[in-house]
Amino acid sequence: MKWITRERPKVDRIACPWLIRRFVDSEAEFLFVPADQVKTLAAREQAIPYDVPDVELGHHGPRCSFDAILDRYRLDDPALRRLASIVRGADTEDKDLTPESRGLEAIARGFGLVYDDDQAQLAAELPVYDALYAWCQSQVEAGTPAP
């Protein structure tokens, strides 16, 4: 399946592909296009749009696209829910939602500065989310309360 979003990804537009490939669609292909072309190209490419206004898998209230994907695909893993809080804080105005959110935002912005190619950035940054997820799993297993 193809998935499509705006070019020049930041937090949510990298976190979502990680989530999709790991838990929804291991063969997913991601397209990064100019914002004004997402909906047109989504229809032409038969791609699922995410992290753009007015789509199911976008921001809704204080929640980000990562949350929307968790809800849509009924992913109830406590470690994923903990990771969602970190992503939400990093991707929205609620920067202090978790202690890790500001750090994730800085890392994501840094990747954007290092990479000019969105696909190269995606490939390079995915291990960050593997590591964060492993850390979230360890926190859940240790019984550490979520923020």
The C-alpha atoms of residue 27 and residue 11 are separated, in whole angstroms, by 21
Question: Residue 147: inside a domain, yes or no?
Answer: no
Residue ranges making up the domain that contains 40:
2-141
- Asked, for residue 13, whether it belongs to a domain, the answer is yes
Is residue 50 assigned to a domain?
A: yes
Domain presence at residue 112? yes
Give a yes or no: residue 72 inside a domain.
yes
Report how many domains make up the chain: 1
pLDDT value, residue 146: 78
First to last CA, the chain: 34
With residue 73 as reference, give the H or E element that holds it. none
Q: What is the pLDDT of residues 13-72, one digit of tens each?
A: 999 999 999 999 999 999 999 999 999 999 999 999 999 999 999 999 999 999 999 999
What is the predicted pLDDT for the residue at 147? 74
Q: What is the mean pLDDT of residues 73-96?
A: 97
Would 45 be classed as within a structural domain?
Answer: yes
Asked, for residue 146, whether it belongs to a domain, the answer is: no
pLDDT over 90 at 101, yes or no = yes
Query: pLDDT digits over 126-144, tens only?
Result: 999 999 999 999 999 998 8
